[in-house]
Each structure stands twice: as C-alpha cells, then as structure tokens.
Amino acid sequence: MADAVQYRLERMTDELDDLERRGLFNRAELADVVRRRRDFEFRLRRRSPLRQDFLDYIAYELRLDSLRNLRKRAIIRDAPSESDDDHGSADEEGTKKKRKRRNKKWKKSISDVAGVLRILDIYRMATVRFKGDLDLWFRYLEFCRGKRHGRMKQVLAQAIRFHPKVPGLWIYAAAWEFDQNLNVAAARALMQSGLRSCPQSEDMWIEYLRMELTYLNKLKARKVALGEDVKTLQKSDNDAGKWKDENKELFMPLNEQDDGPEDSKRAGDALEEKEDMFWRQGLLIIQTIYHGAVEALPSSLTLRKKFLEILNSVDLAHSDELKIEVLDDVKKDFSHCEDYWDWFARLQLTDLNNPNGLKGKDALSNKLNKSIQVYDEAVRRLPTSKMYSLYAKFWMDVLYPDREDSIASFQNPEFDASEFTSSILNVYESAESCGCLTEDLACQYVSFCLKLERLEEAKNLAEKLCNGPLSDAANLWSLRASMEINSVATAGSTPFSKEKLSCLFDLFNTVLSKLPVTQTEGLWHMAMKLFSNEKIYFEKLVKCAMLSLSLAGGNDSGASVASAIIGWYLQRDGMKQARKMYKRLLALPRPSLKLFQYCIELEANLASLGDNSALANARKLYDSAIDYYPQEREVWRNYYNLELKVGTSETANAVYWRARKVLSDSTALTAPSC
C-alpha cells in the first residue's frame, strides 16, 4: 500500500515544480499539499475505503484548484507589460492588446490540467468502488460537463451500462447530446434505447416528446430566419401588393423579364406545400410517440394529462387534431375512473376557446356551466362516493377563494358565489339519496349548512344521519355534540341547566358506549371537559370509560383518556384518590406503557420532594411496567436514574444488574458510579 501511495505522489513532481516555478505556491505550501494528499491516498488505499473518503479528497482538490486559478489570474493581472513604460496612457484597443500579450506569455502548462485530471481519476476510482451509487455517478457527470471534458461520453456509457433501468441517466445523456453536442440524431437514439430499457417510465416518454417538440421549434425558428415560414411571414392579401409597391427598392430582379402574378403565386404555393409537408412529418413523429406511450402504459391517466399539457403549451400547426384524439382516447379508456371526470371538468375552466365572444362574468359563467355539465354526466355514469366527493370539493374550491386549492379565476369580485349555494346542496342531497354519503361528505354537508347560518337544519341533519346510516361516524358525532353544546351555551343566562346537561350526557353516553376509544378519543375529552364540574355525571363517565378501556387494550388513545381521568381526580380529590383510580385503571387488561409513564411521573415528582411512600409506589409501578414491557430500555433507564437520584447505591446497583440480565445489550445503561 505504501509503495502505491509513493508512486502516485512521485507522479506529482512535475506539477509541483511548475506551481513553484510560476510563483503560485511556495515550498511550505507545497509541502502541506503533499502531506494532505498523502493522507488522502492512504485513506483510499485501506481495505474498505468509505464513500466520504473519496468525496473529501475531491472537495480538497476542488478548493486547491480554485485557489491556483485565483492566484494565476492575479499574477496575470498584475504582470507589467513591456510597453508600459513607453505608453503610460493607452486607449482601449491598446489595453486589449496588452492583455493578449500577457495571456500569450502565460502558456498553458501541466499545472493547469493536472488538478482536473486528478479529480477525474478520483471519481473513476470512486465509481469503480461504489458502482451502485447513483448520486456519485451524477456528481462525476456534472463535473465532466462543467469542465467540458472529453471523458463525458465515456462516463455516460459506463453509467448507463451499470444502470440501464434508471430513466434519469438516459434522459441526462440525451439532454447532453441535444443541448451540448447539438447532436439530435444521437439524442434521439439514446431516448429510443432508454425507452426499450424502461418502457414503463412516464418521464422517459414525456421527455422524448418534449425533446422532439423542442427540435421542431428550432427548425421552425430556422425557417423563419430563412424566410421559408409562410404562416409567419406572409402578409394578408389586401396588404401584400401595397407593401411591395412601397418597398420596391428592396426587390432586385434577377433578369430583365418581370415575373407575372401567376409565377409568384406558383412559387408561394410551392413554398406553402413544402411547409405543410414539414409540419405533417413533425405531427407524424409526435403521433408515433403518443401511440407508443399509450401502448406501453395503457392504464396511466397521468401520462395522457402530461401529453395534453405539453401540446397545449406549444404553438404547433395541425396539433388540434392530435389534441382531439388524445381527449377521445382518454374518455374511451378512463370513463370508468372518477379522477378522469374530475380532471376533464376542471379542464373546461382553462379552455381558451370562446366562440361566442363572451367576456368577464358571462365567459366565466359559461365555463362553469360546462364544468357542471361534465360533473352531472359523471355522477349519472358513476354514482360513487368518490365521485360525489370530487364534485363537492369542486364546488368548495369555487365558492370559497380562501381555501388552499381554490380556483383563482373565481376570485373575481364580479363573481357572486351565493348564486350557487343551492347547487352544492343538491349535490349533497343527491349523494344522500343514492346512499353515497360518506362520513367526510356528511361532515362537509353539515358544516356547509352551518356556514349558511342554518343551525336548526344542520342539527336535524346531523341527528338524522347519526341515528341512521352513519351511526358509526365518530367525526359526525363530534360535530353534532359541538353544535348541541354551542346551542345550549347561547340559549340564555343559565346555559347548563339540569335538563340540558341530562340531554347532553345521554348524547355522549350513546356514542361513547357504542364506538371504541380509538375512534372517540376527542369525544371523551370533550365530554370530560364539559362535565368536569359535575361530579355525578363525571363518575358516570368513568364507569362507561372503564368498560371501553377494558376492550381497548394498551393503545395510546386509551392511555390519553385514562390519564385525563386520573388528572381530574388528582385536581379535585388529591393524590390519595388519584392512586386509587390509577390502580383500577392499571388492573385492566394490558395497560398502556404511556399510562404507566404518566403514573410513574406523578409518584416520582412526589418522591423527589422526600415522600417515601411515593418512592415505594414508583418502584412498584416500575416493576409492573417491566413485567409487561421487559425490553423497553427507556423504562429501565428511567428506573435506574430514579434510584440514582432518590434511592441508594444498593437499589441502583440492583436495577442495573437486573437490566443487564434482561436486556441483551450490556451498554443500555451506564455503569454505576460505586
């Protein structure tokens, strides 16, 4: 290993001599460079070098080469010219000549290229060692591209050989050939090879189409520059003769015989026919790409959307037929998909065609009516919950501009959203009649009635749904309970009378005894907050909670409810009653670890104040928790820290050795100090 490192260092002597001879680095700096490079070389030559070793070496060489380049520029800038003494004040042209003479004197030497070659060599060794690291390959490629080095094509070939199933590499290689090498044929060949290797990649098909459209636009710009683009350069028939008469001096006849109007017309027709043939060939290429993509990915709606977006973003002659074909194919293949109808309906709002010449509010209403027609057809064909949810979401985006996904075109102050409130209510009613009203839709339905300030209608609707098809919808029950509490609170000066409290308790008792704790955690906290000052009702809630928690097992939702109950007893009746309650809760099947931690925290706080009975209770709780969860290292660590803090050295040692015996990892706890 040392011989290999010494050999590589000896190969740097010419570079180091050149750096010293040109005054870029002194001997002390070069000695430090050699020392650093030796350290990096030894790191790369060890048995299992790390990826970071290569990256650190590359980063150091990049900084060193950047410093060399800065010093070189400073020396060239400050170097005196031979003619400075003779011509003190030269003009701009003389200054340029002086600069050229200075650059000519500083000829390129080995030190100018050695740094780049060394970095390339380090990248080569890194990619040989870590062939599967795509990030490393892309760093290698970016460095070659930035330095415009000839090894770029070789590195691309190696990367593709090792990773033929990575679409990003094919796209990167084709983009480099297209943009840097200006080799369209090679870029097209790479994209086609990539599509054969990765036919299921949407990005490959999209980028292939984008590349071909970019190439067509470049050809179009070339035709415009050459005056061959008829559609771009041709004047209207009324202005053509007048413009030619006004600019006679621009025309120079090639012979004395004047061409007649028939010859000019014949030449224009030939040029137009040639251009039409060009656009037909371009359209044929795009159609071929589209059909190939559809054949490879027949079930991808996203691919069709992206194709249509690209076609809409470019101004391409004869592309309307292809757009219509894409839309027809999408409707034929995805008419059974709700996402298609939602996308197609929203597409109507972005349609720029305005055959009737409508403006402002009328044009917006016309687009909205088209979208509504699409959604109505969709719910007739697909009367599903998802379709109604998408329809309702569309209306929410239209009616409320403050939403995150709101439609920007309807934020116009001329647009009155109140005109369409009946439409969205019809959507919810239709979903309810079809049996497609889900829990989320029902909550949206009730919330929308509340926004319209129809409180009684919202309460009756929530009651009907909770007692009917959505009796297991916890969020709907929560919304109903909130409405009942708010209506009672705003009823008068005595908002919580006995009758009202009894009605509210019956409501909570119905849902809490029916649904599991995992779904009704929020309802439990709402009920305990409401009845926190009513001991009779709260104790009834505790009885109901004991039954629900016994069925819930050791989950976090049950622990949250149990902790709230213990906290209520602690605040109202003190620690003695809280202990009784947590003992009852911990006696239930499979208590949660979070519940143990909450109870231990209560006892540990008292133990830290010198309460010996609290310390004994904390130890019992820790022992019980360890019986249920013996492999929880955090429990062992906290138990050990408690003994170190308020226990004795003997108890701390006992906990430590118990943990060592139970846990397979002997480093889970720190060794005792005594």
pLDDT in tens, 76-133: 887 765 455 444 444 555 555 555 555 555 678 888 889 899 999 999 999 999 999 9
Fill in the DSSP letter of residue 631.
Answer: T
Q: Are 554 and 591 in contact (CB under 8 A)?
A: yes
CA dist 115 to 60, 122, 141, Å?
Answer: 11, 11, 17
CA distances from 418 to 32, 388, 395, 396, 449 (A): 77, 21, 12, 12, 13
Q: Is residue 560 part of a domain?
A: yes
d(CA 64, CA 44): 19
Shared-domain flag, residues 619 and 671:
yes
- Are 211 and 317 in a shared domain? yes
Q: What would you measure as the largest C-alpha separation in the chain, in angstroms?
A: 123
**Contact, 592 vs 556, CB < 8 A?**
yes
For residue 255, the model assigns a pLDDT of 45
Residues 6+ away with beta carbon under 8 Å from 332: none
In a domain, 44, yes or no: no
Cα radius of gyration (the chain): 40
* Local structure of residue 12 (DSSP, 8 states): T
Which tokens hold the place of 11?
A: 């190969």
- Spell out the residues 6+ positions from residue 461 whose beta carbon is closer than 8 angstroms to its own: 445, 446, 449
Q: Which of 364-370's residues contact partners 24+ apart within 8 Å by CB, and which partners?
A: 364/409, 364/410, 364/412, 364/415, 367/409, 368/398, 368/410
Domain annotation covers residue 303: yes
Rounded to whole angstroms, the Cα distance separating 65 from 20 reads 14
Q: Using CA atoms, how far apart are residues 335 and 382, in angstroms rounded to an integer?
A: 9
Asked if 302 and 323 sit in the same domain, the reply is yes
Cα(398)–Cα(360) distance, rounded to whole angstroms?
Answer: 16
Amino acid of residue 485: I
Measured distance CA(150)–CA(33) in Å, rounded: 27
Of 531, 559, 591, which marks where a domain is finished? 591
Residue 277: the pLDDT is 67
433: amino acid identity, one letter: S
Domain count, the chain: 3
Residue 239, pLDDT score: 47
Cα-based distances in Å from 173 to 131, 162, 183, 221, 292: 18, 14, 11, 25, 21
Q: What is the pLDDT of residue 596?
A: 92
* Confidence at residue 244, expressed as pLDDT on a 0 to 100 scale: 46
Domain boundary among 283, 313, 334: 334
Same-domain check for residues 538 and 658: no
- Per-residue burial over 553-585, b = 16 or more CB atoms within 10 Å of its CB, e = otherwise: ebbebbbbbbbbbbebbbeeeebeebbebbeeb
Within 13 Å and on the Cβ side, how many CA atoms surround 396?
Answer: 17
Quick one: 205 and 271 in the same domain?
A: yes
Instruction: Name residues of the chain where pLDDT drops below 50.
Output: 82, 85-90, 230, 232-240, 243-244, 247-258, 493, 671-674
Q: Which of 574, 591, 608 is the last residue of a domain?
A: 591
Establish if 631 belongs to a structural domain. yes
Q: Does some domain include residue 383? A: no
Say which CATH number the domain at 673 has. Answer: 1.25.40
Q: Is residue 445 part of a domain?
A: no
Q: Are 546 and 621 found together in one domain?
A: no
Structure tokens given for 466: 């909770």
Same-domain pairing of 642 and 608: yes
Q: Are residues 559 and 586 in the same domain?
A: yes
* pLDDT at residue 55, as a whole number: 94
Judge if 586 and 621 occupy the same domain.
Answer: no
Would residue 489 count as lying in a domain?
no
What domain range includes position 643?
596-674
Q: In the 3-class helix/strand/coil scheme, how is 294-306 assigned residue by residue?
A: HHHCCCCHHHHHH
Q: Is residue 106 part of a domain?
A: no
> Are 639 and 626 in contact, with CB atoms under 8 Å apart?
yes
CA distance 470 to 432: 11
Q: Which pair of structure tokens corresponds to residue 226?
A: 């050459």
Q: What is the pLDDT of residue 218?
A: 83
289, 319: one domain: yes
pLDDT at 573: 87
Residue 216 and residue 327 share a domain? yes
Same domain for 604 and 584, yes or no, is no
The pLDDT value recorded for residue 90 is 46
What torsion do the CA atoms of 455, 460, 465, 468 make, to the nearest 10 degrees? 170
